[in-house]
Homo-oligomer: A and B are copies of this chain.
Amino acid sequence: MGEGILFVISGPSGTGKGTVCRKLVERTGIHFSVSMTTRKPRPGEVEGKSYYFVSEETYSRVLEEKGFLEWANVHGNRYGTPREEVLKQLDRGRDVLLDIDVQGALQVKKNFPQAVLIFLLPPSMAELRRRITGRRSETPEAIAARMAAAMGEISRADQYDYCVINDKVEAAADRVEAIMKAEHSRVSDSVYELIEKYKKEERGEMSL
């Protein structure tokens, strides 16, 4: 209560993280952290909204300056979460949403244990294959590589705080929204302050 909470959504490529995150931003107005990447924009992706698309040089400079909360190489591309913006929002009491891959999410948890990790699962592997195959830009080799990577990532779901199956976007977003609300009622350090407040009030009343 008071401080913002960092929510990290990840899961295999093709699980629909992006769609669920957009839905959450629409519904709750949560601050969405935009990652930096060296990969090429896909059709429909918007600079500064989907990603900050940067050169290898720019990326390396930010990395050297320890400007990333996490960073990862995925399928030969480099991704990173600019640290400063996230911390600024949390300090202001705003929740922050990250949409990152599994490597990155576990790195955030390590550097920032109070982060809440949500793993988004496909309803089945067959469905994941259908979704990945639907992307025209993927070669059969790329699809096979993605399926193998997905299985490796799913094996690490047990290191997360929550698992949500993305069967339908609205239902998945409902579940994540409930998690966000519930986490604000979690007993944490702030409860000690709250208990002290009640004690002080009661001592004040007693002395009347």
> Which of A124, A125, A129, A158 counts the most chain B CB atoms within 10 A?
A125
CB distance from A191 to the nearest CB of B (A): 5
Q: From A156, which residue of chain B is reached at the shortest CB distance? A: B195
Identical subunits present: 2
> Which A residues fall within an 8 A CB radius of B?
118-119, 121, 124-126, 129, 147, 151, 154-155, 157-158, 160-164, 174-175, 177-179, 181-187, 191-192, 194-195, 198-199, 201-202, 205
Q: From A199, which residue of chain B is reached at the shortest CB distance? A: B151
For residue A162, which residues in chain B have a CB less than 8 angstroms away from its CB?
Answer: 182, 185-187
For residue A124, which residues in chain B have a CB less than 8 angstroms away from its CB?
Answer: 198, 201
Closest 5 CB pairs of A and B: A182-B182, A178-B181, A179-B182, A178-B178, A162-B185
Q: From A184, which residue of chain B is reached at the shortest CB distance? A: B175
